[in-house]
A and B are shown apart, each in its own frame.
Chain A
Amino acid sequence: MAIIAARARPRLSSKRPSKWVTIGLFLVPVVAFYLLFVLFPVVQAAYYSLFKWNGLQPLTNFIGLQNYSTAIASDTFVTAVGNNVFIVVLSLTLQVPFSLFLALMLNRKFPGRAIFRLIFFLPYVLSEAVTGIVFTLLLQPGALIDSSFKDVGLGWLVQDWLGDTSVVMITLFVIISWKYFGFHMILLLAGLQGIPREIEEAAQIDGASRFQSFRFVTLPLLGPTLRVSVFLSMIGALQLFDMVWVMTGGGPLNASNTMAIAMFKAGLKNNQMGYGSALAVILFGFGLLVALAYQRFVLRRDVEGAVTAFNG
Chain B
Amino acid sequence: MSAPTRLLQALHGGFGRFSLSSGIRYLVLIMVASVILVPIGYAVLGGFKSNNQLVGDPVSILPAPWVFSNYTDVVVGSNAPAFWREAANSLIIAAIAVTLTVGLASLAAFVFARMVFRGREAIYTLFVFGLLFPSAVAILPLYILVRQLGLSGNLLGVALPQAAFALPLTVIILRPFFRSIPAELEDAAVMDGCSPFGFFWRVLLPLARPALATVSVLAIVTTWNAFLLPLILLNGVDQWTLPLGVMNFAGEYTSDKARVLAFTVVAISPAIVFYIAAERQIVGGLTGGAVKG
A residues lining the B interface (CB < 8 Å): 18-20, 22-23, 25-27, 29-31, 33-42, 44-45, 48, 55, 102, 105-106, 109-114, 116-123, 125-130, 133-138, 140, 142-144, 146-148, 151, 178, 182-183, 186-187, 189-191, 193-194, 235, 238-239, 241-242, 245-246, 259-260, 263-264, 267-268, 273, 276-277, 280-281, 283-284, 286-288, 291, 303, 306-307, 309-310
A267 near B143: Cβ-Cβ < 8 Å:
yes
Stretch of B33-41, B77-85, B180-188, B208-216 with 4 or more beta carbons under 8 angstroms from chain A: B33-41
* A contact residues around B126 at 8 Å (CB): 31, 34-35, 39
B107 near A30: Cβ-Cβ < 8 Å:
yes
Q: With A22-B196, A38-B130, A134-B264 as given contacts, are A187 and B286 in contact (CB-CB < 8 Å)?
A: yes
- A48-B144, A127-B243 provided; 11 other pairs, C-beta below 8 A? A26-B108, A26-B196, A26-B200, A30-B167, A37-B145, A38-B161, A41-B145, A133-B264, A186-B287, A235-B132, A287-B134
B43 near A134: Cβ-Cβ < 8 Å:
yes
Q: How many residues of B contact A (CB 8 A)?
A: 96
B165 within 8 A of A: yes
Pick the contact of A33 from B125, B164, B286, B288 — CB < 8 Å? B164
B residues lining the A interface (CB < 8 Å): 17, 22, 25-26, 28-29, 32-33, 35-37, 39-40, 42-43, 46, 54-55, 58-59, 104-105, 107-108, 110-111, 115, 117, 121-130, 132-145, 160-161, 163-165, 167, 196-197, 200, 221, 224-228, 231-232, 242-244, 246-247, 250, 257, 260-261, 264, 267-268, 271-272, 274-276, 279, 282-283, 286-288, 290-293
A125 near B282: Cβ-Cβ < 8 Å:
yes
A45 near B129: Cβ-Cβ < 8 Å:
no
Q: Shortest beta-carbon distance, A131 to chain B, in Å?
A: 8
Pick the contact of A116 from B29, B127, B129 — CB < 8 Å? B29
Q: How far is the CA of A189 from the CA of B43 in the complex (A)?
A: 30
Pick the contact of B268 from A127, A140, A144 — CB < 8 Å? A127
The 5 closest A-B pairs by CB, nearest first: A239-B134, A127-B225, A37-B164, A190-B287, A190-B290
Q: List 17 A-B contacts (CB under 8 A).
A: A26-B196, A27-B108, A33-B160, A34-B167, A37-B142, A40-B145, A45-B140, A117-B291, A125-B275, A130-B264, A130-B267, A133-B250, A133-B260, A137-B250, A138-B39, A264-B228, A280-B140
Label chain B's interface by main secondary structure: helix
Q: Which residue of A is nearest B43, CB measured?
A: A134
